[in-house]
Amino acid sequence: MILFPPEFGLLEVLMLQVGRVVSKDKIAQCLSTDQKELGDNAIEVYIHRLRKRIKPYDANIRAVRGLRYMLESVAGG
């Protein structure tokens, strides 16, 4: 699986908190650089792309009330 840097960073943030809810603010804080801040739309695009890439690996990113996300294993329940 090939991931672009923002997708890799997002996956890393979610994997460090697997099974727990991660807010968009926390994701933005972890992925933003000094030169560039991420908006909600950019995060949603990265989430969408990452969902497609991890689907074959029995993993899912679940939205929790639209403002937070959680990485979960489909096979594990």
Q: What is the mean pLDDT of residues 10-15?
A: 94
pLDDT digits (tens, 9 = 90+) for 20-39: 999 999 999 998 876 677 88
DSSP run (H or E) holding 28: helix 24-31
Q: Which CATH architecture describes the domain 5-73?
A: Orthogonal Bundle (1.10)
Handedness of CA 42, 58, 12, 17 (dihedral sign): positive
Sign of CA dihedral 59, 37, 6, 40: positive
pLDDT tens digit sequence for 62-73: 999 868 999 987
* SS3 category, 43: helix
Whole-number pLDDT of residue 74: 65
- pLDDT for position 75: 62
Q: What is the mean pLDDT of the chain?
A: 87
